[in-house]
Chain A
């Protein structure tokens, strides 16, 4: 029985016990849950568990070469989250993180759309508590917007699943055709979670409002689950190349002007997702390997960067570039780990970003997609600018902020060091890393051209930043809100809809008033006529009036009808 247990499910069920355990034992218990869950990964590929309910086969546990890398990294991330959050004494966030990680892992192993839908919604409902844990009025409002958007995505998925079931008689999770209705519905569902352009508002809105532990967990699962689903169902869909290229491109500019460093990281997350989406759109074996490798490496370095900023937030209470600076002397280990994350995301040789991104760039070069290639190259310079330099520079160096603090708690440091070590190890031993990818690969990222080209690109981009800063061209960071696509439903729609509703209400009042007046007048007129002409020797009652008015309306309709014959 236990051998057929879907990975992740044990974490969801086990999470129910967490509130009853004392603080440190709770962390050990959570680690054991993650370890037990990893056991299911040793079972090999194939369908291991399915249940029949109401005549439908729910495939709970299906493993293949694509699920394995995602399952591995999700388990690693879950374990790192347990360590990173060990200082938190209250059980609420731990329950949320454990069940959220479990739901994401279970979703990866779903074999049909309905099982996926259940876990899809489960990730939303378990993770919203992490945003609420931000414990501010802002995070409270943001959490509601977050859950609304996530549930909308789920509804699209469910609609797509139902259409597919009616059409084909099964809802297996396989490759879908984008030209079909169900394909489009599912595409939108995945697209919302993958933060496609203009559907991305929720990401930058909610993640930075979560607690310091919560953001690290959030950054790992939801969006990468969407990437997994795209790789599974829409590999080779050309539309994804266009969408992905736009995704890599436009969050850069927002990241450059954003002041909240955790929000900068969410823009950067969005931009990194673009790289993966482009690779999935290409759909060749090399490209899919690139997308998976990038997702794997990205979870580690992005988690590391969020951990660094989380540690700063935990100690200082803010993550705003305008208020931070000069923290290196107080938090040297956090700073060094954040810099390792920054170097990794910038894709410097010998770090994880380089060995993953090279696969995607090579796939683009091989397919001859020159324009997209240069858009991604431009985005790579952008990543260095906003994540590679801006994050560590404004937090730990830049100007002296006058803040005095101390190093992050030991558990945070341990988690950051492990993540840093993994970033470096992947960068140094790419061939070992490539073995877990879905397709067999014979690729060498470290050739002279790649390394020298990348180093020139990055050092000169860094040099440009240095010149801008040194010659005081770079404007100071300001406390501000940067408008994003969530502006549409946070400002524009209420701005248009509320006056519109008020107008409708006013018109309704006017209409009622006119109706009442006309009713009374008609009644008076009829009474007068009837009494005067002695049709009836009594006053007209309301019932007569209604009958007369309905009759009049019919007469008018019949009269109008004459013209349309």
Chain B
């Protein structure tokens, strides 16, 4: 635990801890979603993690043709 905090930082480790707690919570109670696909175990967790990675990936790939110099419009 101490190694994790040392390597990963206090805040980061606590977020990881929260992630684990919310996963465990699902195992204790019965969670059901608005749609049947959501009923899979840990679906929101996977969905949230993957969405964030996808957004990041697409965002970074858009940099090459959407990002221009700061004075682009002033030229």
Contacts and interface: CB of A to CB of B under 8 A. Distances in A.
A381 B38 CA distance: 15
A461 B51 contact: yes
Interface in B27-62: 29-35, 37-38, 42-56, 58-60, 62
A454 B38 CA distance: 11
A330 interface: no
B67 A460 contact: no
A464 interface: yes
B16 interface: yes
A131 interface: no
Interface in A225-271: 252-254, 256-257
A490 B15 CA distance: 43
Given A381-B51, A461-B48, A481-B69, A475 B37 contact: no
B55 A457 contact: no
Contacts of A252: 55, 59
Contacts of A254: 62, 66
B22 A482 contact: no
Contacts of B60: 257, 475
Nearest to B70: A479
A253 B18 CA distance: 27
Interface string B1-31: 0000000110010011011001101100111
A456 B35 contact: no
Contacts of B70: 479-481
A433 interface: no
A179 interface: no
Contacts of B55: 252-253, 256, 378, 381-382, 385
Interface in A473-528: 473-475, 478-483, 490-491
Interface residues of A, number: 50
A465 interface: yes
Contact of A483 (B26, B45, B58, B68): B68
Most chain-B Cβ atoms within 10 A of its Cβ — which of A370, A384, A456? A456
A390 B44 CA distance: 21
A455 B31 CA distance: 12
A466 to B, nearest CB: 5
A54 to B, nearest CB: 44
A422 interface: no
A478 B54 CA distance: 21
A138 B29 CA distance: 55
A279 interface: no
B31 A448 contact: yes
Nearest to B66: A483
Contacts of A474: 56
A483 B19 CA distance: 36
A481 to B, nearest CB: 4
A478 B34 contact: no
Most chain-B Cβ atoms within 10 A of its Cβ — which of A253, A366, A478? A253
Interface in A354-391: 361-362, 364-366, 370, 373-374, 377-378, 381-382, 384-385
Interface in A427-478: 448-449, 452-466, 468, 470, 473-475, 478
In order of increasing CB-CB distance, the 8 nearest A-B pairs are A365-B34, A256-B59, A381-B51, A464-B52, A457-B48, A460-B48, A461-B48, A456-B44
Given A257-B67, A452-B44, A470-B12, 17 more contacts: A253-B62, A254-B62, A257-B62, A370-B37, A384-B48, A385-B56, A453-B33, A456-B23, A457-B48, A459-B18, A459-B45, A460-B48, A462-B52, A464-B49, A464-B53, A478-B67, A480-B67
15 contacts: A254-B66, A257-B60, A378-B51, A378-B55, A384-B52, A448-B31, A452-B29, A453-B38, A455-B22, A459-B22, A460-B48, A463-B49, A464-B52, A480-B67, A483-B72
